């Protein structure tokens, strides 16, 4: 398996623009997580899905953020409109509940977002 | 909510042993993970503890005491490539983990 695939790797956008981050989890994994990492706040959980259903979105900062998982192999995180304070590295991770104790979460390479 | 504490930074010498501590307070507990993250890269899984005691995996070992809300990661025979951030993460229900801020370890020759 190619692992968790995220795109784009880097995104630079202007304040007010819409940004869409994409993630393809590992095949067979039933959990998908979106995390955001900054120096100030560390690694924060934004939202997670189980079998394509959003379970907990309490970490989503505000209504400007939304996430979808239309099928088991694809998820998006959208920011509209973007603001400079959204600048961070956004990680997608996936896991399989019965093997998480052996393999933990598998993270994608991340998307480094810069909003100017 | 969860509260996870780790030292911010540690320094050690190549070939030595270092212990990175993690204390946590959570409502519910379903296991504790350790991850390694090199600068500019994604976190990678190191270990998982759900029962009290020590789990050994080569040069890395992880210990858990649930009654004390305490874990440590022990790295032996340190190598330069072990310079990284080490993240403690607590799982409090099926599938969801909360991460500490991480400990940046610098290994010096």
The DSSP line for B60-97 is EEEEEETTTTEEEEEE-S--GGG-EEEEEEEEEETTEE
User: Looking at residue B77, what is its pLDDT?
Assistant: 97
User: Shortest CA distance to A5 belongs to which of A42, A32, A36?
Assistant: A32
Q: How far is C-alpha B8 from the chain's CA centre?
A: 12
The residues on A that touch B, with CB distances below 8 Å, are 31, 33, 35, 42-45, 48, 50, 55-56, 91, 95, 97, 100-110
Give yes or no for residue A7 having a pLDDT over 70.
Answer: yes
Q: Enumerate the residues of chain A whose CB falls inside 8 A of the CB of residue B101.
A: 42
Residue of B nearest to A112 (CA): B40
Structure tokens at B93: 């229900």
> How far apart are the CA of A40 and the nearest CA of chain B, in angstroms?
9
Indicate the DSSP class of residue A105: -
Give yes or no for residue A89 having a pLDDT over 80.
Answer: yes
User: B45 and A108: CB-CB below 8 Å?
Assistant: no
User: B99 and A43: CB-CB below 8 Å?
Assistant: yes
Q: Enumerate the residues of chain B whose CB falls inside 8 A of the CB of residue A55.
A: 95-96
Q: Do the Cβ atoms of A105 and A3 come closer than 8 Å?
A: no
Instruction: Work out the pLDDT band at B1, boundaries 50, 70, 90.
Output: low
The rounded mean pLDDT for chain A is 94
Instruction: Work out the pLDDT band at A103, boundaries 50, 70, 90.
Output: confident
- Tell me how many residue pairs between chain A and chain B have CB atoms under 8 A apart: 53
User: Looking at residue A55, what is its pLDDT?
Assistant: 93
Q: Report the alpha-carbon distance of residue A91 to residue A56 in Å, rounded.
A: 16
pLDDT in tens, A33-76: 999 999 999 999 999 999 999 999 999 988 999 999 999 999 99
- B contact test, residue of A36, A39, A101 with most B CBs within 10 A: A101
User: Looking at residue A20, what is its pLDDT?
Assistant: 98
User: B42 and A45: CB-CB below 8 Å?
Assistant: no
Average pLDDT of span B66-94: 94
User: Looking at residue A3, what is its pLDDT?
Assistant: 94
Give yes or no for residue A99 having a pLDDT over 80.
Answer: no
- If one counts every other C-beta atom within 10 angstroms of the C-beta of residue B3, the result is 12
For B8-35, letters b (16+ CB in 10 Å) and e give eebebeeeeebebebbbebeebbbbbbb
Q: Enumerate the residues of chain B whose CB falls inside 8 A of the CB of residue A104.
A: 33, 35, 45-46, 48
For B87-106, letters b (16+ CB in 10 Å) and e give bbbbbbeebbbbbbbbbbbe
Compute φ and ψ for A12, nearest 5 degrees.
-120, 125
Q: Enumerate the residues of chain A whose CB falls inside 8 A of the CB of residue B45.
A: 103-106
Indicate the DSSP class of residue A84: G
User: Looking at residue B78, what is its pLDDT?
Assistant: 98
User: Looking at residue A1, what is its pLDDT?
Assistant: 66
pLDDT in tens, B11-67: 999 999 999 999 999 888 889 999 999 999 999 999 999 999 999 989 999 999 999
3-state helix, strand, coil in chain A (%, to 5): 5, 55, 40
User: Looking at residue A100, what is its pLDDT?
Assistant: 76
Give yes or no for residue A13 having a pLDDT over 70.
Answer: yes
């Amino acid at each position: 398996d190619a692992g968790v695939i995220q795109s784009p790797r880097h995104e630079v956008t202007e304040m007010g623009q819409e940004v869409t981050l994409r993630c393809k989890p590992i095949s067979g994994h039933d959990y998908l997580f979106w995390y955001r990492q900054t120096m100030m706040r560390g690694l924060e959980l934004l939202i997670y899905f189980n079998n394509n259903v959003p379970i907990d979105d309490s970490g989503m900062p505000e209504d400007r953020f939304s996430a979808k998982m239309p099928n088991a192999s694809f998820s998006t995180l959208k920011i509209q409109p973007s603001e400079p304070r959204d600048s961070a590295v956004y990680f997608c991770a996936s896991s399989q509940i019965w093997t998480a104790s052996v393999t933990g979460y598998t993270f994608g390479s991340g998307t480094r977002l810069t909003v100017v | 909510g969860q509260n996870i504490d780790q030292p911010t930074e540690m320094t050690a010498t190549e070939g030595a042993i270092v212990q990175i501590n993690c204390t946590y307070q959570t409502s519910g507990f379903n296991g504790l993970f350790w991850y390694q993250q090199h600068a500019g890269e994604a976190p990678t899984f190191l270990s998982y503890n759900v029962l009290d005691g020590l789990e050994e995996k080569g040069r890395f070992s992880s210990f858990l005491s649930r009654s004390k809300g305490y874990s440590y990661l022990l790295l032996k025979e340190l190598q330069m490539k072990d310079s990284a951030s080490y993240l403690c993460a607590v799982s409090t229900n099926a599938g969801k983990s909360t991460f500490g801020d991480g400990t940046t370890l610098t290994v010096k020759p």
